[in-house]
Amino acid sequence: MGKLKVGIIGVGGITSTPSPVPAEQSLQVIQILDGIYRSQEAEKEVRI
């Protein structure tokens, strides 16, 4: 089997250009957004 190339999904569609944002930074943003949703549901501060 061939290698799968992962690219960016943007306005123009999928490209083979590497992501300009490191994966670790993307994970941090997802964790922050998840914390916001959990905080709203719990109606108090939550640890992320």
What string of DSSP letters covers 11-45?
Answer: TTEE-SSPPSS-HHHHHHHHHHHHHHHHHHHHTS-
Question: Average of pLDDT values for 15-44?
Answer: 88
Q: Which residues pair with 14 in a beta bridge?
A: 9
pLDDT at 2 > cutoff 70 = no
This prediction has a pTM of 0.59
For residues 48 and 14, which has the higher predicted lDDT (pLDDT)? 48
Domain boundaries, the chain: 20-48
Residue written as token pair 């949703």: 37
